[in-house]
């Protein structure tokens, strides 16, 4: 989808044949998820099975012209954060808040890990995100990037009840 420059929304969605909490809707009519263990058992499968379906017409974008940014000669500052949120908060919502609060200096936000376990606590999960900051007119300092990161962390706390995960 990235290569086609298509922003296909991913939303939580539960289908009876898919595992609860491990399925999503892709765009208007597609789906993605792990087959429910009871359904897999019906077919004699004793391994996890994943399925996806996508309407290729949703990927057709004949009227969309690609938008390019100037190549920036100034290097990016990269930082990673991990936040702990309630299990009901999807990673896509975390990324949306990051993008909204990051401003123009935030050029990339990408989830690279999700963790559930006793270190986090029941009903919560940790989401780790790569952040990239860059300015078109200057090299950013660590202090510049830190200020944006702090704004992002504050917004995540206010809007999603997220806490920065230590260590």
State the pLDDT confidence band at 7, using cuts at 50, 70 and 90: confident
Q: What pLDDT sits at residue 130?
A: 97
Q: What is the rounded CA–CA span in Å between residue 146 and residue 130?
A: 14
Q: What is the pLDDT of residues 15-53, one digit of tens each?
A: 888 888 788 888 888 888 899 988 888 888 888 889 988
Q: What is the pLDDT of residues 70-98, one digit of tens each?
A: 777 899 999 999 999 999 898 889 999 99
The kind and range of the H/E element at 23 are strand 18-26
Residue ranges per structural domain of the chain: 10-59, 77-164
Do the beta carbons of residue 77 and residue 145 sit within 8 Å? yes
Q: What angle do CA 36, 40, 45 make, to 5 degrees?
A: 145
Is it the case that residue 102 has pLDDT exceeding 80?
A: yes
Q: What pLDDT sits at residue 61?
A: 66
The kind and range of the H/E element at 102 are helix 91-102
Do the beta carbons of residue 83 and residue 97 sit within 8 Å? no
- Classify 77-164 by CATH class: alpha beta
Q: What is the rounded CA–CA span in Å between residue 97 and residue 155?
A: 7
CB atoms under 10 Å from CB of 81, counted, come to 19
Do the beta carbons of residue 58 and residue 27 sit within 8 Å? yes
């Amino acid at each position: 989808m990235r290569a086609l420059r298509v922003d296909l929304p991913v939303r939580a969605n539960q289908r009876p044949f898919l595992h609860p909490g491990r399925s999503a809707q892709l765009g208007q009519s597609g789906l993605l998820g792990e087959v429910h263990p009871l359904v897999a058992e019906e077919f004699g499968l004793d391994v996890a099975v994943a399925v996806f379906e996508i309407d290729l017409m949703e990927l057709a974008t004949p009227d969309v012209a690609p938008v390019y940014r100037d190549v920036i000669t100034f290097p990016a500052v990269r930082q990673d954060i991990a936040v702990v949120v309630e299990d009901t908060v999807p990673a896509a919502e975390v990324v949306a808040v990051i993008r909204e609060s990051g401003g123009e200096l935030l050029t990339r936000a990408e989830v690279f890990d999700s963790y559930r376990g006793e270190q986090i606590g029941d009903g919560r999960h940790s989401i780790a995100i790569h952040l990239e900051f860059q300015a078109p007119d200057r090299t950013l300092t660590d202090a510049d990037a830190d200020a944006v990161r702090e704004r992002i962390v504050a917004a995540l706390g206010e809007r999603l009840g997220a806490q920065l995960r230590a260590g």
